[in-house]
Amino acid sequence: MNKLCLAVLALAWVAGCGGNSPAAPLLVTDLDIRAPRPGTEMGTAYLKLTNNHDEALTITRVSSPQFGRVELHETVSEGEVSRMRALSELEIEAGTTVHLAPGQKHLMLMQPRAGAGAVSLSFWSGEALLVSVTADSGGG
Amino acid sequence: MYPRNLIVALLLGVALAAGVLLSLRHSNDAPALKTATVLPTGLELPDFRLTDHTGAPADPSIFEGQWDLVFFGFTNCPDICPLTLQVLADARRRLAESGFEPLPRVVLVSVDPERDSAESLGAYINSFGTGNLGLTGPVTELRKFADALGIYFNKVGTATDFYTVDHSSVVIVIDPDGEYRALFSSPHVTDQFVHDLPILIRS
C-alpha cells in the first residue's frame, strides 16, 4: 500500500512540471557537480536531499544520462586513515534533510559519456522516480 | 636623604624587573603552531626509486631545495584527494598573495600506480595549479616510501567493478634538506596551513 502511494505521488509529480518542486516527495538543493578532472574519468556530486513525504524515503539508485555509472559513497575517517565505502541505499527520515558534503557522503560519477556541461541526475526508489535535477558542472 | 647605595640598588632592581617583564612579553608574542605537529628531529627519507609526472626518474633528492607539502592519494579518488589538494593549492595561493617566501611545493604521491600513469597524474595535478609535483612508480617503491613516513595505503574492492584505495590523509612537510619535519592531521582547512606554514618555514 505504501509503495503504491509513493508511486502515485511520484507519477503525479512527474506528470506535472517534471522538475524540482516543493510538492515533490524528494527535494534536491545546493547541487554542486564537479566534472572529472583532466587525467581522470571520475566526477563528484554534492547536494542536499530533503524528504517532504510523511514517511521515510529510501534512495536505491541514482542515474545520469551523462555518466554510465553513478554510485553513492561515504568517506569514513578512522584515525588518520581515509576510507571510502559504497552505500547500496540511502534512507531519509520523513521531514529531514541529508547533506552529501565534502569529506562525507557523496555521489561518484563514473564512465563519462559527454564533455563538461550540464549534468542531469535522477533519484530512484526501486522503480519509482523520486526526482530529477540538472545543473552545470564546475571544476575539472 | 637616602644612602647612595640604596638608590643604586633600587635603580638596578627596577631595571632588572623591566628587563624580565619585557622578555616575558616578547616570548608571549612568539607565534605558536595551531595544527601542525613537528617531529623532534628531521627524518631522513628512504632511498626510493619512483617516476615523476613528466616521466623522469625520481629519488629522495627530488625533495631537496624547497619545502614540500606531500599528500598520498590517487586520481580516481572523488572526495578527500581533490578536497585536500584544493586546500593546499588555496593555501599556497594565499601565501603568495601575501608576499610570503619561500612558497612550498604541493606533491601528490600516488597510492594507485595501476591506474595513475605519469601522464594522467601530471594532467591531474596541473589542474590544481602550476608547479606541483606528482610521483608514481612500482608499488614496492611506493610502499617503501610510505612505510618510512608512517603512511598507510590499501587497495579495496567495492561491491562494483570499481576499486578504491584506503589511505592515510595526513599532509607531510619535507624541508629543503629533504627531511621529514612535520605533519598536518586531517580534516584539512586552508586557514590552518596559511597560519602554520610561515611559522614552520621560518623556524
- Segment A91-119, tens digit of pLDDT: 999 999 999 999 999 999 999 997 668 99
* Cβ–Cβ gap A140/B80 under 8 Å: no
* Cβ–Cβ gap B187/A82 under 8 Å: no
* Cβ–Cβ gap B82/A110 under 8 Å: no
Which CA distances in Å does A66 have to A36, A63, A116, A122, A128? 12, 9, 9, 11, 20
Read off the C-alpha cell for B145: 616510501
- Segment B81-140, tens digit of pLDDT: 999 999 999 999 999 999 999 999 999 999 999 999 999 999 999 999 999 999 999 999
Sign of the C-alpha dihedral computed for residues B64, B68, B74 and B75 taken in this order: negative
Asked whether residue B165 carries a pLDDT value surpassing 60, the answer given is yes
* Cβ–Cβ gap A82/B169 under 8 Å: yes
Q: What is the mean pLDDT of chain B?
A: 91
How far apart are the C-alpha atoms of B110 and B65, rounded to whole Å? 22
Give percent of chain B with pLDDT exceeding 70.
88
The pLDDT, as a whole number, for residue A18 is 41
pTM: 0.84
- Segment B37-70, tens digit of pLDDT: 999 999 999 999 999 999 999 999 999 999 999 9
Of the candidates A42, A69, A80, the beta carbon closest to that of B168 is on A80
Mutate to test the interface with A, among B54, B79, B162 (most CBs of A within 10 A): B79
Average pLDDT over residues B14-32: 62
N-term to C-term CA, chain B: 52
Lowest mean pLDDT among A21-35, A49-63, B2-16: B2-16
